[in-house]
Structures are given as C-alpha cells and as structure tokens.
Amino acid sequence: MVDSYLPEDELKAFIESLPTRRLAAGAVIRNEAGQLLLVKPNYKDGWTIPGGTVEAGEAPQSACFREVAEEVGLTLEPGRLLVVFHGLQMGIWGDSTYYIYDAGVLPAHAVITLQEEELTAYEWAAPEDLGSYFDQGQAYRLQQAFRALQTGAVYEFSSDSPAR
C-alpha cells in the first residue's frame, strides 16, 4: 500500500481523474536487402508494421515482440528502442505513446506466417519508398527509426513537433 495523506477513497478518486494514455509498440523487421516488413490489417485501411497494443501489466518491449510472434509467427530476440512517438489528441485514440523497436534482420530462410484473424498480406518495402505506403506522419516515424539504426540514437517526438 502506498502511504498517502489522503483517505484511500479520495486518493482513488484523484487517481481515476488523471489522464489516460494508450500505449502501442511496433517492430522494424528487415530482410537481408534492408527492406522493411509491412503488414496489411483487415480491420483498417493501409499498411503498418508488426506490433500492437500494450496490455495492462505489460511492458512496451514485451508487447511488441508478443505481437510480432502472434501476427507474423516469428519469435525474435527483442532489440533496442528506436523511436518514441507521443500522439496528442489523436481523434478517437486520444493521447497515445507509440514505441518502435529494432527486431533485426531476418535470414532468407525465415518463414512468415500471417495471423489470418487480423492480417491479409505482407510486403517488403525499401526505406526510400515508405511515403507511398504511409501518410506523412507514419512515414516520418519509420524514417526516424531507420535513422536511429544508423546513428545508435533514440528519437523522441510528438504529433505537435514542428518536424513531424
């Protein structure tokens, strides 16, 4: 129990009044040619990278690689954090934080098995072609992930950042 100067019911009411933030995580999975693995969900338009929502009691990195295993059938060694994106007042999603992790380079013999309940296709895309698959914001986030792979840095920005 946390020590508090407030009675427990008042502390609970205060905590429940605090803002909530949705968390999600995605993986940059590359092939030997340096292309990025993209997946096509059946529940929304467009392409995305493997990943998904962080569940209660789960860390973002764990969620990312759990989702990778579920969505594309790959059990990969969790890699380092590349990007943290804060989506501020993103429509029905409200405030959210999206983590992008390095999932390494797949060998040519790796087999991708799509989760048919959520995904309809996968494709490999060159980093310079991301603008034809994604809106400006998502393309920028993934370009920053590739930049992080080259520099060793972690990039953090938000939807109200001038560069986005």
Residue range 41-72, pLDDT digits in tens: 999 999 999 999 999 999 999 999 999 999 99
In the chain, where the domains are located? 19-158
CA 125, 127, 128, 130 dihedral sign is: positive
- Per-residue model confidence (pLDDT) at position 13: 86
Q: CA–CA separation, 14 vs 84, rounded Å?
A: 28
DSSP 8-state assignment for residue 116: T
- Per-residue model confidence (pLDDT) at position 3: 62
Protein fold of 19-158: Nucleoside Triphosphate Pyrophosphohydrolase (3.90.79)
Q: Which pair of tokens denotes residue 82? A: 């590349």
Which residue type does 125 have?
A
Q: Which pair of tokens denotes residue 1? A: 């129990």
Mean pLDDT, consecutive 10-residue stretches, the chain (164 aa), reads 74 83 96 98 95 97 98 96 90 86 96 97 97 93 97 94 62
